[in-house]
Structure formats: C-alpha cells, structure tokens
Amino acid sequence: MSLEKKEIDPQTKLDRRGFIHKTSALVLGGLLGAKVVYADNIPASFPLLGLQPTANALPGKHPGLLVLNDRPINAETPAHLLDDSQTPGDKLFVRNNGIPPELDKIDPEQWTLTISGESVRREMSFTLAELKANFSTVSYQLTLECGGNGRKEFNPPAKGNQWTTGAVGSPIWTGVRLRDVLQKVGLKDDAVYVGYYGRDSHISGDPNKTVISRGVPLAKALDDRSLIAWALNDKPIPHLNGYPLRLVFGGFPASCSGKWLERIVVRDQVHDGPKMGGQSYRVPCRPVAPGTKVPDEDMCIIDEMPVKSLISFPKTGATIRLNQELPIRGHAWVGKGSIQEVSYSIDFGATWRSCELEPAANPHAWQDFSARVSFPEPGYYEVWARATDSEGIAQPMLLPGWNPRGYLNNACHRIAVRSVS
C-alpha cells in the first residue's frame, strides 16, 4: 500500500493537492466516508474530489462541524448549518479548554451540585433529582457565543482557536433559575460575584489543575434567565456541551457558562479562578493600536457581547438567475437589549435595505431575519448583513477594535452570490 500517511490532510483525508494513491477500495472508502465503487479504475495519482468528511465526525455532533482542534476539542458550525431558528444540539459549537469527563463515568443519578464560597450563609449540595424536584423548571432560548468568535480576522493575529463565524448558537435550555438556588442557600450581604467549577480535567493531566473557572457579577447571576440547565431542546445536553448539568448565561461570553457543573462559588470579590485574570476573556479598557502589548491592569473583563448577525441561508457561493429573487435568512443578537433592525447591502455597503425582523422568543434569544434580494445584472456580488441594537449601535462593516487575544469581532457577515442570466 503506497498511501503516504504524513501527507494526508485531516479534513479531507486526501493529500494537499487532492491526490490519493492507488490502494484498496476498502481503505479508500474509509478515508472518503463511502465505498468507492469503481476504485479499480482509478488511475494512479488521480486527484479525487472527495466528500464532506463523515468518518471523523465528533461523537453526537453533525459531521459538517469544522474541527479547529482535537485536543482539547474545538469545533465551529459553518454559517449554513446555523439556519434553524433554534440550534439543534448536534449543531451547537464545542469549545473545550480541557478534557471532558468520560461519558460512561457520568452517572446523572449521582451527580451533585455544591454551592459554596465565602459569601454563602451555609454550604449546600443538591442532586440533579433534588434540583428538578425543589425548584421550578423553566425554559428559555438563550444565545451562547464564544468571546473569541471571529478571532481569525484579527491582524496582527491573535493566538488561540481561529474561529471564523461559527462559535455561536441559540438552543432552548431547560433547568432551574440560578437565582432560586442561590436564594435557597442564602447569600451574605457582601456577595458580589458567582464562579463555577466543572468536572473536566486539565490538558496536562495534572489532577490538581483547574481547567477554567470563570463567572459573572451577582446581578447577572440573579437574572430571570440565568439557568442551571440539564436539557437542550428538551433532550439531555450533548456530552461535549456539558452533560449532565451546566450554567447558561445568555448574552455574556459563553466562557461564563460552566459545563459539567459541579460547584458554584459565591464570592465577596471578583472571582479569581483560572481564566478570569490576566489577558483571558479581557479586552483593553481603552482602545489600543493593533499589535500593542497591554499590561494586565489595563485589561477589562468582557460582560455583554456586542450586536452581531449571521446569514445562514444561502450558503456562500450560491448562484441565482437574474430574473429570480434570492431569499436570504439569518439571525441577529446582542448581549444587552434587543435587535431593532437588520439591513442588507449588495453594493459593498453603499446602500442598505431593511430585512424582515422577527421578535425574540425571549430576551437573550437571537432574532430571525429574512429578505428577498434581486440583482440588477449578471455578475459577482456579496450580500452583507448589518444589525442595529435597541441602543442604536450597529455592527461595524470591517473589523472592530483590535485586542491582544482577538475577542469581540462583530464585523458584518457576508456571503458571495453569483447572478447568471
């Protein structure tokens, strides 16, 4: 067998130029995710086109997700797979900082959540069953977006997962209000912040190292829609997204929403767990020139995420006949308030037209938009979408403020469209 392993690209399993060397139908089939029926007829070194990879889909995840890193697992959702109004579990992006607890070692019957910290009146623990039985169950559609979504565009580049547009999703989450649980436990007057600890393990293998332990200011923790959730779209949360229990804080960077949740700490100071301090999930308090080294004390914690939108239909590269209208669809969201308007441009931002905009299912759910677009003559176009929030703040058309770790890129999303006569 002359297959040169080293040259195989992890996405397509073909080498960089698309060549695959003559080999058995079985091996080829394994690489391409389907049996090659006429494999014997393929001339040596003939470049096969290949299919979307299915063989290396993440467990429980849609095979179309783009894996950016496999240790820890980080995978984003291509824009056209985010077309659903409510993101299905298998299409929700995965952002792991460490190694998830093994699925067969998770027993939801035994899972407990402990509430502790210097600002609780007394430490208390609840099993999953006790959470379900003792507090009212609520469901909200809540949008989660990683603070680093869009990082890939920053220049000079920022280290970390090179997310394009797909570290976002908006499923329906079911659980209990964090507020109800905190009230049951009882808070001291000096409580200001709430942090989390999950059961994932550090990439180094060191059992004493915490992967990530972030949190939110008390006011956000007490919000009506801040949840301790066990279900996503009425099903158990997918393993990679925090099964069996996680926090969900819509509108804040998703890094606040602790997965595989085991402990909540109520703090009398800003929580100081790993990835709360230094440069993590922080941006310069005042704008800086691209490439500036910013001292830690001049970095501020990200709270509400900025206004943003995504075109989920059609997939970029669509072709449309000149005499036909192109339907476009997508979603718009913002951490604070709501979306007031979404508009689109086909002339690189010179003119804009309004889209139809649906109301949010509830605050912190994204809002669907749509429009029917016609093109004046055959040729290449880009469709740009731009959302404006209830404070009148619109998305920037190009990159917003550079920051050292590449957070908060809310530039307009765009797709390419070809009009043919």
Ligand X SMILES: Nc1nc2c(c(=O)[nH]1)N[C@H]1C(S)=C(S)[C@@H](COP(=O)(O)O)O[C@H]1N2
What is the residue whose two structure tokens read 């956000």? 220
Binding of ligand X by 94 (CB under 6 A): yes
53, 101, 171, 198: which one binds ligand X (CB under 6 A): 198
**Minimum gap (Å) between residue 406 Cβ and ligand X:** 13
Nearer to Mo ion by Cβ, of 12 and 96: the residue is 96
If one asks whether residue 200 binds ligand X (CB under 6 A), the answer comes out as yes
Out of 185, 212, 301, 311, which residue is the one contacting ligand X (CB under 6 A)? 212
Strands (DSSP E) along 30-123, which ranges?
Answer: 66-70, 73-76, 94-95, 112-116
Q: State yes or no: residue 250 binds ligand X (CB under 6 A).
A: no
Q: What track of x and - describes contact with ligand X for positions 47 through 86 (by CB under 6 A)?
A: ----------------------------------------
Residues 132-171 that bind Mo ion (CB under 5 A): 146
Output 77 or 338, the one with its CB closest to ligand X. Answer: 77
Q: Nearest-CA neighbor of 82 among 164, 152, 138?
A: 164
> In this chain, which of 258, 273, 306, 335 binds ligand X, going by CB under 6 A?
258
φ/ψ region of 242 (left if φ > 0, alpha if ψ in -120 to 50, else beta) reads left
Tell me whether residue 48 or residue 58 sits nearer to ligand X (CB atom).
Answer: 58
For residue 5, the SS3 value is helix
Q: Does 254 help bind ligand X (rule: CB under 6 A)? A: yes
> Got the DSSP string for 158-174?
-SS----S-SEE--EEE
Does 241 participate in binding ligand X (rule CB under 6 A)? yes
| Out of 87, 141, 174, 255, the residue judged to bind ligand X by CB under 6 A | 255
Window 84-113: residues binding Mo ion (CB under 5 A): 95
Nearest residue to Mo ion on Cβ basis? 146
175 binds ligand X (CB under 6 A): no
Rounded to a whole number of angstroms, the minimum distance from the CB of residue 146 to Mo ion is 3
Binding of ligand X at residue 96 (CB under 6 A)? Answer: yes
Q: Alpha-carbon dihedral of residues 140, 143, 144, 147, nearest 10 degrees? A: -140
Binding mask 98-117 for ligand X (x = CB under 6 A): x-------------------
Q: In whole angstroms, what is the distance from residue 368 CA to residue 355 CA?
A: 10
Which ranges of 120-223 would DSSP assign to H, the alpha helix?
128-134, 178-185, 218-221
Structure tokens that stand for 244 in this block: 């069996």
* Shortest distance in whole angstroms from residue 393 CB to Mo ion: 22
Quickly list DSSP for 215-284. EEEHHHHTSTT-EEEEEETTEEPPGGGTTT-EEE-TTSBGGGS-SSEEEEEEESSS--STTTSTTTTEEE
> Cβ 8 to ligand X, closest distance in Å?
27
Q: Assess contact for 141 and 365: CB atoms under 8 A.
A: yes
Angle at alpha carbon of residue 355, lines to 350 and 360, rounded to 5°: 135
Which CB atom, from 31 or from 146, has the smaller least distance to Mo ion? 146
Touching ligand X, residues 106-165 (CB under 6 A): 144, 146
Least Å distance, CB 214 to Mo ion, is 9
Q: Which of 96, 143, 213, 255 binds Mo ion (CB under 5 A)?
A: 255
Answer whether the bond into residue 101 is a cis peptide, omega within 30°. no
Interface with ligand X by CB under 6 A: which residues? 92-98, 144, 146, 198, 200, 211-212, 241-242, 254-255, 257-260
